[in-house]
Amino acid sequence: MFDSAGRRVDRILYSSEYQAMLGKGYRSGVVWRAFEEDSLIPTYLLMYTIAFYDPGICCPYTVSLGTAFALAKYGSGELQAQFLPALLRKDDSVWQGATWMTEIDGGSDLGAGVKTVARRRGDHWLLAGDKYFASNVSAELAVVAARPEGAPAGVRGLALFLVPRYRQDGSLNRTVRRLKDKIATRSVPTGEIELRDSEGYLVGSPESGIYLILEILNLSRVANSVVSVALAQRAMADALAYAERRTAFGKLVVDHALLRHQFERRFQSLEWAFALAWESVRLLDQVRAERPPYSDRYHLFRLVAHLAKYWTAELAVDTAKWAMEVHGGLGVLGEFGAERWLREAMILAIWEGTSHRQILDGLEVMERKQAHKLLFAHLATITPAQALEGLESALEQLLHLPRDQREIEAEALFRRLAIVSGEELSRRESAEDRDGQW
């Protein structure tokens, strides 16, 4: 926390192997490629590959992308010139970003939970407040949600600020109260941040803050979906490798009918989840330049992103639990690694908005923007519309129920919509595969 002269420095020490691994992702273009190649696909492909080995390290990449994205899309020319080049460097001097919204009172209801206040001071703002979950805590730049003094209550009064690690005079602009002791994602340090007259620069207008926050969250939710699929795939690969060498009752465990059937069924679910996650990537790539008021394509994307975040994370947890069971007693021993996937998966289901949040936000975009109709029209290009009529009318009925009843009945239908969408999309992928388009 302090240097040899007694000055507060709050430096996080990493092992050199970690820094080499982290740096490799940045050098490979997990952030700069999105801008140079004008596409998010290479970024998510890199994350998919990396997450097969370590889901947690995709967090720094995702929040760095979110910071650069918000700055490039909504920041003033002056702010961009000052900060963007450092985030897009291709060598180890690259700056990292972070996205800090959540406070002690809660992350789901940001409108009520964010108590950090911003006061204007000349060409910049001074922020005061505490962020309770701040991942990539030593990032050089963070985008931070705060309420400008006098702004209305609720989410509409939130604005987004760029907060550098150091003030203009070189002093520390924010301090780390402590680091979190987490069950997983240990490859990203998450801490509590204290903002005390911290210099911040407004990104976009105060009125557009909530849209920016949601756009950043969308980038993370899509990353979460890709990472969840990679984790489920890895857990299954490990389980298969084990079942192919462990014997019981005279034959390999994998050759017993019950287990073989489970493998087959789960491989299929994985394929569907994969298709859903990648559809959220493709749609995001198509709509990423949009600003409010958004198009129907954007609302379609939002629904697919909620379905993908929800379903892939739930699948990752369920698959990781099952993969542990396949390892039998060895599954619970830290030294063999199977239990780690379950710990990692549990975080994927909670951050970037819990599964509850995805269902409720998914219902909202269906109700307000009729996004389910857009989704069915989208799927009709793969499957005759009649095949999905039953599901569509069940959803219509759900949306007309009184609020509490709708929430009580929502999850089963939301899950079905996610699975059916994944199944249909994977059918399209298989066809494209045969035609050599994928």
Ligand X SMILES: Cc1cc2nc3c(=O)[nH]c(=O)nc-3n(C[C@H](O)[C@H](O)[C@H](O)COP(=O)(O)OP(=O)(O)OC[C@H]3O[C@@H](n4cnc5c(N)ncnc54)[C@H](O)[C@@H]3O)c2cc1C
The stretch near ligand X (CB under 6 A) out of 103-111, 281-289, 291-299, 413-421 is: 103-111
Compute the least distance from the CB of residue 101 to ligand X, in Å: 4
The DSSP symbol for 89 reads -
Residue 161 or 351: which CB sits closer to ligand X?
351
Whole-number minimum distance, CB 349 to ligand X, in Å?
10
Looking at beta carbons only, is 102 or 173 nearer to ligand X? 102
First and final CA of the chain: distance in angstroms?
A: 50
Closest CA to 28 of 53, 49, 14: 49
Amino acid at residue number 228:
S
Site string for ligand X, 323-352 (x = CB under 6 A): ------------------------x--xx-
In the complex with ligand X, which residue's Cβ is closer, 102 or 426? 102
**Which residue matches tokens 């602009």?**
173
> Of residues 102, 198, 218, 269, which one binds ligand X by CB under 6 A?
102
Binding segment (CB under 6 A) for ligand X, from list 40-48, 96-104, 226-234, 255-263: 96-104
Give which of 383, 385, 389, 373 is closest to 431, Cα–Cα: 383
Q: Which residue is nearest to ligand X (CB)?
A: 107
Nearer to ligand X, 185 or 225 (CB): 185
Q: Are 114 and 146 in contact (CB under 8 A)?
A: yes
Residues 21-60 that bind ligand X (CB under 6 A): none
Task: Give the x/- contact pattern for ligand X in 189-208, rule: CB under 6 A.
Answer: -x------------------
- How many of the chain's residues bind ligand X (CB under 6 A)? 21
Structural tokens at position 298: 């954007």
Nearer to ligand X, 96 or 185 (CB): 185
Neighbours of 373 (CB within 10 A): 16
CB 346 within 8 A of CB 318: no
Q: How far is CA 86 from the centre of its chain?
A: 23
- Smaller CB distance to ligand X: residue 110 or 126? 110
Buried (b) or exposed (e) across 171-190, using 16+ Cβ within 10 A? ebbbbbeeeeeeebbbbbbb
Return the number of the residue (135 or 198) whose C-beta is nearest ligand X.
135
C-beta closer to ligand X: residue 75 or 353: 353
CB of 217 to ligand X, least distance (A): 9
Closest of 147, 188, 149 to residue 59, by C-alpha: 188
Closer of 185 and 198 to ligand X (Cβ): 185
Choose between 156 and 356: whose C-beta lies nearer to ligand X: 356
Residue with tokens 């087959």: 264
Query: What are the backbone dihedrals phi and psi of residue 210, each rounded to the nearest 5 degrees, phi first?
Result: -65, -35
**Up-side HSE of residue 404: CA atoms within 13 Å toward CB?**
0
Specify the residue, 102 or 319, whose C-beta has the smaller distance to ligand X. 102
The least distance separating ligand X from the CB of residue 341, rounded to whole angstroms, comes to: 16
In whole angstroms, what is the distance from residue 130 CA to residue 103 CA? Answer: 6
CB distance 129 to 195 below 8 Å:
yes
Give ∠ CA 408-414-416 in degrees, rounded to 5: 120
Name the segment binding ligand X (CB under 6 A); options: 84-92, 94-102, 336-344, 416-424.
94-102
Near ligand X in 391-430, by CB under 6 A: none
Scanning 288-402, the segments in alpha helix (DSSP H) are 296-326, 338-348, 355-369, 371-379, 389-399
Among 43, 67, 185, 426, binds ligand X (CB under 6 A): 185
Residues ≥6 apart with Cβ < 8 Å to 208: 74, 292
**Site residues for ligand X, window 354-373 (CB under 6 A)?**
354, 356-357, 360
Residue 99 CB, nearest distance to ligand X (Å)? 5
Of 106-114, 268-276, 316-324, 367-375, which segment contacts ligand X by CB under 6 A?
A: 106-114
Binding mask 113-152 for ligand X (x = CB under 6 A): --------------------xxx-----------------
In 149-256, where does DSSP find H-type helix?
A: 209-243
Whole-Å CA distances, 102 to 61, 132, 214, 246, 266: 19, 6, 13, 45, 35
Residue of 101, 155, 232, 320 interacting with ligand X (CB under 6 A): 101
Contacting residues toward ligand X, per CB under 6 A = 99-102, 106-108, 133-135, 182, 185, 190, 347, 350-351, 353-354, 356-357, 360
